[in-house]
Chains A and B, each alone.
Chain A
Amino acid sequence: MMAYLIRRLFYAVPILLGVNILTFLLFFVVNTPDDMARMHVGRKHVTEQAITQWKVEHGYDKPLFYNRAEHGVSSLTDTIFFNKSLRMFALDFGASDDGRDIAREIKTRAGPSLAIAIPVFVLGLLVNVSFALMMVFFRATYLDRLGVVTAVVLMSISGLFYIIAGQYFFAKLWHLVPISGFAAGLDSWRFVLLPVLVSIVAGMGSGTRWYRSIFLEEMSKDYVRTARAKGLSEWRVLFRHVLQNGMIPILTGAVVVLPLLFMGSLLTESFFGIPGLGSYVIDAIQAQDFAIVRAMVFIGSVLYIFGLWLTDIAYAWADPRVRLS
């Protein structure tokens, strides 16, 4: 198993390299270093000299991939790609184009993102699995049908609606929590409460339906009939046997997103004024800040690969029949 996991780690290198090249190409197809310089230097009274100066200062005056003016290894290393993208493999994210240290920025923003994402993930999973089990328990009754209809309705509504409605009722009309904002430390719970609630409700429709279908499939299996035949209560059948056997698909869905929680949610953070990582990338794209974009895409890729790696381990843990080799 260990050999398999190490091998998987090595597979990550070409994937990351590919992602890096792709990000680099996509970014520079849309933006040239001149465009970036113009965006940063300003819109009024901008001279060619200022553009050139900005590029020199930020290292964008070099060729993209191959430097004909240099010889030997330098022709590859004295390029924008090497200096801006490949250094990230040494976890050197450098500074954003406005001069802020990216690693420090990510560290600062990760906390608020996780303050929302972890409760949403844990409580959301708990709520969705519980509701799904309840619907399975009452399958083919009016409660199950009501549950499915509610789930479909919840799924059909845009996430933005939940945010606006949540803010309108809980914060504006009933004055129970602040509309938006964030505070460091323990006081943050007042700001986190509403976005967590809204995010859980927004994800309930799809989550509940997904888990319901998993549990229903399990319910039709022989071991469930055997358990019932042995006289086990329906409650025990569900929570003891069906839930445990439904763990593999649950793990597939859950573990893979676990590391990505770090990346935050754009919409939630934007509307609730949470200073997390969700809006960091979007702001960077709007500001044409390639340094941040490449760093965040790289971290996203690493986390996704890590998530898949964790899923493999979780499979083996949850189902003894799975062998990693």
Chain B
Amino acid sequence: MNRIWLFVITVLLAGCDQHVWNDPYPAHDSGANILYSSFEERPKHLDPAQSYSSNETEIISQIYEPPLQYHYLKRPYTLIPQTLSAMPSVTYLNAAGRILPHDAAPDSIAQSVYELHIRPGIHYQPHPAFALDDHGQLRYAHLSANDWRHIHHWQDFRQLGTRELVAADYVYEIKRLASPQVNSPILGLMSEHIAGLQEYADRLSVLAQGLPENAYLDLNRYPLAGAEVVDRYTYRIRLKGKYPQFLYWLAMPFFSPVPSEVDRFYHQPGMTERNFTLDWHPVGTGPYLLSENDPNRQMILTRNPNYHGDNYPVSGEPGDAAAGLLRDAGKPLPFIDQEVFSLEKETIPYWNKFLQGYYDLSGIGSNSFDQAIRVDAQGQPQLTDEMRRKGMGLATAVTASNSYVGFNMLDSVVGGVSERARKLRQAIAIAVDYEEFISIFANGRGIPAQGPIPPGIYGYDDSGADFNPVVYHLVNGKVERRPIGDAKRLLAEAGYPDGRDAKTGAPLVMYLDTPAAGPDAKAGFDWMIKQFAKLNIQLVVRSTDYNRFQDKIRHGSAQMFVWGWNADYPDPENFLFLLYGPNMKVGKNGENVANYQNPQFDALFDKMKYLDNGPERLAIIRQMVDIVRTDSPWLFGYFPKAFGLRQAWMSPTKPNVIANNTLKYRKIDPLLRQQLRKKWNRPVLWPLLALGGLIFALLLPAIWAWRQRERSVAK
């Protein structure tokens, strides 16, 4: 008995020191230079030719280095070389192969030739695929079953190697985009631009048919017209016609270098069975390598010992210095040794762990919004006192994305460019109050959209003077939503006075298709029904599963639907093409899901996409925006605003809604983190004693009753 009490006292005394019990990480990491974050869903692909989702690019962008990257601090977003010695040069050729001047008419340009020169001396991360034997041959190019016996991870190979990055690696990756074994999501799009890519894909498909499963298809044996190696450090990409936006693609992981020996290494027999694939074990030249990939629990990025180095930018926007963003100007990157991503599926444990200091960064969910943010008298979001006490910092940024309701322009009621249909759409656009929506459903985190182009993208006017005159008007110099009377008038002009068909007297019934369901979504739908009811329009919400919803969109059988777009790159073309006729969904499988067609808009788009940013381009963009405001093929909805919290030990970071390779700029103070974690997480032991006491108190009468019963005489 005495021993038990001794144990209890020891435990209690142990709790009196500053040891932390609830730390989910190993004790030896507590003072290490590690950034802790989480992932909610396991990434599907880590192959740069396949990854497209944000949770995938967030990881591989720290590993792979496409030739270009975005300047960390400059806005508007500016492309700069990443592995290149200078920005790519472009030469325009006509159909006869003659060089054209840079201001040549787009129609006269048959080919654009981009020449890219990479910096010598860049090396890949350590990897067995590069290991050489005594004869200078690849050591693990022909593995047998025996070699596999004790291998569970690529670090388990006895010998790791590296090699210099060469131009051929970039060309190899462009060829991989066409490989049937890879099935890249951008093959269709890039086939329209890269010379010969579609023909190359067709050829590879035929070649792959005769190969056994997982066999290596050596792309080096088959040249691609649109991508060629010039010399060890130079390569060329040939595009059909002119496509200035191609430079933005060169900053995306799709155009990262992949060494052919790595691809060959992962295609050896037995690799797939052990989950050894390029899709799970990326190999790059970037600042980090994926040292642990257990997507069921944890993924760890560790500093790449072979990283060529980079420096923190020395200049940015006005205000960056005052915000502390230039404190590390010129210092070598990266700052952090590791980033640990832990699987965290639920928001409540995630948020609580962030508050305990076990995550360094956090977004703000609806459930935790009130705990983290209060809105001041000027309507600006501020941290609550609790967050301030913890020394947290807040960063907000409008995302390069939109959320809108699309009208199917092929629909017999809301579609088409007739006056009747246009006025109906305009009336609905006035009635659906997105200011209210943002306030109720997004905690104020959003900006009502005045058109298809979000803030931060060229063509967006942030002076406050630009607004959608169909939906808003000026009242005492202030932009306000038009009164519902205007909407009713438009509705009557459209032939539906008071929400009824003027000819038949039948009530106007409209349909909104959505894949969303459940109590959370229902609140939003009820709100939407209420908005339509302002015009006496009966809105029917048709919730369906994701597959059927996509099916309806593809076949153009939905009348209205909720949709959104996340920018691939910061160019207005990437938003305006969502309304470009030849890009419509029905029949052409494009991204214009509203199936909007307006010849004037399309002609302007064809002109605008070739122009450099400048007054001429801006004027055309404005014209295009005015056209779609009038036609109203979308309820433009809103541009979501992202709120990010950082702990006191993190240096200020600048939100970047386009680039993903930002881990190298992050910096933490691990000692401050260690101190604060201890302070915030001292074990509280009295409840255990109280619980023990309660159990004892409950047991006492039971023991007493038992003894009474045992002593009593049977009746």
How far is B293's CA from A220's CA once the two chains are assembled, in angstroms? 59
Known: A30-B545, A45-B186, A176-B683. A138 touches B702 (CB 8 A): yes
Question: Interface segment, B239-247, B343-351, B387-395, B610-618?
Answer: B343-351
| Binary contact track B323-367/A, C-beta < 8 Å → 1, others 0 | 000000000000000000011111011001101101000000000
B574: min CB distance to chain A, Å: 11
Contacts of B279 in A (CB 8 A): 98-99
Q: Which of B296, B344, B547 contacts A30 (CB 8 A)?
A: B547
Contacts of B683 in A (CB 8 A): 174-176
Taking a contact as CB atoms under 8 Å apart, the answer to whether A42 and B273 are in contact is: no
Taking a contact as CB atoms under 8 Å apart, the answer to whether B187 and A50 are in contact is: yes
Q: Which of B181, B547, B684 contacts A57 (CB 8 A)?
A: B181
Taking a contact as CB atoms under 8 Å apart, the answer to whether B188 and A50 are in contact is: yes
Known: A47-B187, A273-B342. A179 touches B53 (CB 8 A): no
Cβ-based interface call for B297 (8 A): yes
Taking a contact as CB atoms under 8 Å apart, the answer to whether A100 and B275 are in contact is: yes
| Binary contact track A240-274/B, C-beta < 8 Å → 1, others 0 | 00000000000000000000000000000011110
Contacts of A108 in B (CB 8 A): 294, 296
A53: min CB distance to chain B, Å: 5
Cβ-based interface call for B272 (8 A): yes
Question: Interface segment, B19-27, B215-223, B257-265, B466-474?
Answer: B19-27
Taking a contact as CB atoms under 8 Å apart, the answer to whether B186 and A180 are in contact is: no
Taking a contact as CB atoms under 8 Å apart, the answer to whether B188 and A47 are in contact is: yes
| Binary contact track A27-63/B, C-beta < 8 Å → 1, others 0 | 0001110010011111011111110011011000000
Cβ-based interface call for B623 (8 A): no
Cβ-based interface call for B78 (8 A): no
How far is B201's CA from A50's CA once the two chains are assembled, in angstroms? 11
A107: min CB distance to chain B, Å: 11
Taking a contact as CB atoms under 8 Å apart, the answer to whether A175 and B275 are in contact is: no
Q: Mark out the residues of chain B between 246 and 295 whose CB falls within 8 Å of any chain A CB in the assembled complex.
A: 272-275, 277, 279-280, 294
Taking a contact as CB atoms under 8 Å apart, the answer to whether A45 and B188 are in contact is: yes
Q: For residue A141, which residue of chain B has the nearest CB?
A: B705
Contacts of A283 in B (CB 8 A): 41-42
Contacts of A32 in B (CB 8 A): 547
How far is B548's CA from A35's CA once the two chains are assembled, in angstroms? 9
Question: Interface segment, B84-92, B601-609, B662-670, B706-714?
Answer: B706-714
Taking a contact as CB atoms under 8 Å apart, the answer to whether A179 and B274 are in contact is: no
Cβ-based interface call for B501 (8 A): no
Contacts of A104 in B (CB 8 A): 273-275
Taking a contact as CB atoms under 8 Å apart, the answer to whether B185 and A179 are in contact is: no
Taking a contact as CB atoms under 8 Å apart, the answer to whether A175 and B181 are in contact is: no
* A-B contact number at CB 8 A: 164
Cβ-based interface call for B534 (8 A): no
B663: min CB distance to chain A, Å: 21
| Binary contact track B672-715/A, C-beta < 8 Å → 1, others 0 | 00000000011111011000000000000110011001100010
Contacts of A181 in B (CB 8 A): 24, 342
Cβ-based interface call for A12 (8 A): no
Taking a contact as CB atoms under 8 Å apart, the answer to whether B345 and A279 are in contact is: yes
Taking a contact as CB atoms under 8 Å apart, the answer to whether A167 and B277 are in contact is: no
Known: A45-B186, A104-B274. A98 touches B45 (CB 8 A): yes
Interface centre among A50, A168, A183, by most B CB within 10 Å? A50
How far is B186's CA from A42's CA once the two chains are assembled, in angstroms? 10
Taking a contact as CB atoms under 8 Å apart, the answer to whether A175 and B22 are in contact is: yes
Contacts of A49 in B (CB 8 A): 187-188, 201
Q: For residue A272, which residue of chain B has the nearest CB?
A: B349
How far is B346's CA from A134's CA once the two chains are assembled, in angstroms? 38
Contacts of A109 in B (CB 8 A): 296
Taking a contact as CB atoms under 8 Å apart, the answer to whether B345 and A270 are in contact is: yes
Q: For residue A42, which residue of chain B has the nearest CB?
A: B185
Q: Which of B180, B352, B710 contacts A172 (CB 8 A)?
A: B352
A93: min CB distance to chain B, Å: 11
Known: A101-B274, A234-B710. A271 touches B346 (CB 8 A): yes
How far is B358's CA from A179's CA once the two chains are assembled, in angstroms? 10
Contacts of A287 in B (CB 8 A): 44
Taking a contact as CB atoms under 8 Å apart, the answer to whether A143 and B188 are in contact is: no
Cβ-based interface call for A169 (8 A): yes
Cβ-based interface call for A95 (8 A): yes
Q: How large is the interface on B (under 10, 10 to 19, 20 to 34, 35 or more residues)?
A: 35 or more
Q: Which of A45, A53, A190, A273 contacts B349 (CB 8 A)?
A: A273
Contacts of B22 in A (CB 8 A): 171, 175-179
Taking a contact as CB atoms under 8 Å apart, the answer to whether B547 and A167 are in contact is: no
Taking a contact as CB atoms under 8 Å apart, the answer to whether A101 and B275 are in contact is: yes
Taking a contact as CB atoms under 8 Å apart, the answer to whether A53 and B183 are in contact is: yes
Taking a contact as CB atoms under 8 Å apart, the answer to whether A275 and B294 are in contact is: yes
How far is B180's CA from A98's CA once the two chains are assembled, in angstroms? 15
Taking a contact as CB atoms under 8 Å apart, the answer to whether A44 and B52 are in contact is: yes
Cβ-based interface call for B550 (8 A): yes
| Binary contact track A134-151/B, C-beta < 8 Å → 1, others 0 | 100110010100000000
Known: A53-B180, A275-B296. A179 touches B352 (CB 8 A): yes
Taking a contact as CB atoms under 8 Å apart, the answer to whether A275 and B24 are in contact is: no
Q: For residue B706, which residue of chain A has the nearest CB?
A: A137
| Binary contact track A142-172/B, C-beta < 8 Å → 1, others 0 | 0100000000000000000000100111011
B220: min CB distance to chain A, Å: 22
Cβ-based interface call for A187 (8 A): yes
B274: min CB distance to chain A, Å: 7
Contacts of A173 in B (CB 8 A): 684
How far is B186's CA from A99's CA once the two chains are assembled, in angstroms? 20
Cβ-based interface call for B371 (8 A): no
Interface centre among A100, A179, A183, by most B CB within 10 Å? A179
Interface centre among A47, A109, A177, by most B CB within 10 Å? A47
Interface centre among A35, A181, A233, A270, by most B CB within 10 Å? A181
Contacts of B681 in A (CB 8 A): 175
Cβ-based interface call for B368 (8 A): no
Contacts of B201 in A (CB 8 A): 49
Taking a contact as CB atoms under 8 Å apart, the answer to whether B205 and A53 are in contact is: yes
Interface centre among A57, A172, A235, A283, by most B CB within 10 Å? A172
| Binary contact track B533-548/A, C-beta < 8 Å → 1, others 0 | 0000000000001110
Contacts of A290 in B (CB 8 A): none
Q: Which of A105, A180, A190 contacts B353 (CB 8 A)?
A: A180
A157: min CB distance to chain B, Å: 17
A92: min CB distance to chain B, Å: 11
Cβ-based interface call for A87 (8 A): no
Cβ-based interface call for A121 (8 A): no
Contacts of A171 in B (CB 8 A): 22, 352
| Binary contact track B39-51/A, C-beta < 8 Å → 1, others 0 | 0011011000000
Contacts of B358 in A (CB 8 A): 178-179
Cβ-based interface call for B486 (8 A): no
How far is B272's CA from A45's CA once the two chains are assembled, in angstroms? 28
Taking a contact as CB atoms under 8 Å apart, the answer to whether B345 and A273 are in contact is: yes
How far is B548's CA from A288's CA once the two chains are assembled, in angstroms? 14
Q: For residue B209, which residue of chain A has the nearest CB?
A: A56
Taking a contact as CB atoms under 8 Å apart, the answer to whether B356 and A172 are in contact is: yes
User: Can you list 28 A-B pairs with a CB-CB distance of less than 8 A?
Assistant: A30-B545, A30-B547, A32-B547, A38-B550, A39-B546, A42-B185, A44-B52, A44-B591, A46-B589, A47-B589, A53-B180, A53-B183, A57-B181, A104-B275, A108-B296, A137-B706, A141-B705, A143-B701, A172-B352, A176-B22, A176-B683, A176-B688, A177-B22, A178-B22, A180-B24, A181-B342, A182-B297, A235-B706
Q: A30-B545, A45-B591, A178-B22 are in contact. List 20 more A-B contacts (CB 8 A).
A: A35-B547, A39-B546, A41-B185, A50-B188, A54-B183, A56-B180, A57-B180, A95-B272, A101-B273, A174-B684, A175-B22, A176-B22, A178-B24, A180-B344, A181-B24, A183-B24, A233-B710, A270-B345, A273-B343, A273-B349
Residue numbers of B with Cβ under 8 A of A are 20-24, 26, 41-42, 44-45, 52-53, 180-181, 183-189, 201, 205, 272-275, 277, 279-280, 294, 296-297, 342-346, 348-349, 352-353, 355-356, 358, 545-547, 550, 568, 589, 591, 681-685, 687-688, 701-702, 705-706, 709-710, 714
**Which 4 residue pairs across A and B have the least CB separation, nearest first?**
A47-B188, A275-B296, A181-B24, A178-B24
